[in-house]
Each structure stands twice: as structure tokens, then as C-alpha cells.
Amino acid sequence: MIESIAIVGATGAVGRIIRQLLEERDFPYGKITFLASKRSAGTTITFKGEEHEVKLLCPEVFDDIDLAIGSTPDDVAAEFCPWAAERDCVVVDESGYWRMDPKVPLVVPEINPEAAAQHQGIISSPNCSTTQMVLAMKPLHDAGKIRRVIVSTYQATSGAGVQGQADLLDGSRAFLDDHKYDYQAFSHRIAFNLIPQIGSHKEDGYTSEEMKMVYETQKIFGDDSIKVCPTCVRVPVENCHSESMLVETEKKITVEQARELFAATPGIEVVDDLGNGLYPMPSICTGDDRTFIGRIREDLSCDNGLAFWCVSDNLRKGAATNAVQIAELLAT
């Protein structure tokens, strides 16, 4: 059992789910501390039926904490993770700041749990769109070695935080009422619209979100030969990211084999009956820790290709659940 655990960013959207998961999964700990910025410090939250005061995030607070799970903006993670590591507190970090640092393991427990043991005080959890993609790739890569992936994401507004969800709901009402609405999380109207840019412009016409999917995938699998061509799109859906994936393997994998491989993989649920209109959709996948796969079919454009549809709750497996699973690796 871990003697002392902390949740950094405990009052945020992902922080709330981390608290819920720790309670549901009966995570073993002796003492728990909830940390946040000045804006939320001093407020109280209820955990396991008890009231806890949220403490201010500062270096000294980590003096008696063994493990911290952090869900904060990148600039906050850049500052607090070294504070914790210097005080022998291991951090499972949800931000994007440390993911590509060569000294920091990037972990999805169903794929590379052994990497967590190589930490030097910080362990990163991948980007939400990467997490569900690599989980779907894992059984196919093991069976037939993946050459390349072409992926288009349909990312929910919850990926932009609480304000993103507010922009969708309030912006939709304003649009229907023909009123002006000042969007805060998005640079374009999200109501009844698609925005084919998530993140900043990076290299060769790709965005930062798209390049995360490339580099994080290669790091998680430890294989730079895997080619990834991503297009990331923000869609007017409140929660759950969806992905259309085309995977090309060195060894041919049939649809029947793929379905069996997916079904045998922990964390994956196959929902694939096109004739009866059964396939994963955000409306039925939200609030679930599993990654759902359907519409499995052979690619008509190459010999060793499989196309399929993948949906996962980006606040759970894409964020909070994966972080808690990493923490569980450390607690065993």
C-alpha cells in the first residue's frame, strides 16, 4: 500500500473522475491530499464520505507524499513535477509537457506496463486520441506488425475542458435562437460545425495534436518504423472521441481474426453488427472505461489493410482511467 497519495488538479474535469475512480477501484493508500491552484485552494470536496480541504499547490506540500496523479495544464506540470520528484514523490502526469522527454516513460498499461518501472520520478500518460488508437493497434501489431496507420479523429468538445463543453451547449442554444455567442475555447463556431484543426500549426501542414499521435505512438511501441498519418477534427459532440482507422500490416490479418484479436484484448469491447445497426457511438460509450471497436472490414485499397471505427471516453480511458491504472502498477 502507498502511504500517501495526492491528486493535483483535483477540482478539474479529469481530476473529478480520478477521485471517482480511486474510490470505485478501492485504490490502496494511507493518506490522500487534494491540490489545486490559488483559484480552488481552500475549497472543500467530499471523498469517501469525508470532507477534505483542497490545499495550495506548492513545493513543500510534496514533502510527505509518495505518489501524485496530476491533471494540469502543461505549464503547471512543467513546474510542479520536478518539485515532487526532488522530494522522492513519483508523479503520474496527464499533461503533454513530459511525454516526449527521453527520461520519462510514456505508458498505456495494456501495452507497455514494464516501462513504468523505468521512471526517474515522472511517468507520462499519453494524449487522449493516442491512447485509444494505440490500444486498438496493440493486438494487430502483435499479430501482424503494423506498417502504417491512417487515422481521422472526431474529437469531442470535452477534450477542450469544461469551457469546451460550455461552448458547445451555449453556442448551440445561441445559434438556434439566432443570437451572437462569444466562443472561449474554440476559434470558430463549434455548434453545427466541424473544425479541422486541434492544436497549433506545426510541421508540413500538420497540427500539434496530429504530431502527438505520430511521436507518442512510436514511443509507446518503441518502434519508429510505424508510420502514422493523422487528421484531427473537433466535432459538436459533448464527450467521447471517435476515430476512423485504416491499419496496414506486414502479415495479412482477416476480418474474423481481427475481431477475435480485439475481443481477447483487455480494455477493448467489440460492437460490430452493421446489419442490425450495432456499432460504437459516443452516446452509448460515454462514462465507460473500455475502448469500443466496430465496422471492422478489409481495406479495398491495399492487400494487408483493415479499416475499423473506434470510440472511447476521452475523459476516462483517454485521461483519468489510464493515469489511475499507471498508479495501480506502482502500488502492486
Sign, CA torsion 29/35/40/42: positive
Give catalytic status of residue 89 as yes or no. Answer: no
Catalytic residue (choose from 81, 89, 119, 128): 128
How far apart (Å, rounded) are the C-alpha atoms in residues 151 and 137? 11
Catalytic residue (choose from 89, 141, 241, 310): 241
Assess contact for 51 and 42: CB atoms under 8 A: no
How far apart (Å, rounded) are the C-alpha atoms in residues 47 and 26? 12
Q: Which residues pair with 262 in a beta bridge?
A: none
As given in the structure block, the three cell numbers for residue 203 are 510541421
Assess contact for 123 and 304: CB atoms under 8 A: no
Give catalytic status of residue 119 as yes or no. Answer: no
How far apart (Å, rounded) are the C-alpha atoms in residues 217 and 268? 18
Instruction: Spell out where 77-211 has E strands.
Output: 90-93, 122-124, 146-155
How far apart (Å, rounded) are the C-alpha atoms in residues 153 and 312? 11
Q: Which residue has the cell 471497436?
A: 293
How many CB atoms neighbour CB 235 within 10 A? 17
How far apart (Å, rounded) are the C-alpha atoms in residues 271 and 325? 24
By annotation, the residues acting in catalysis are 128, 241
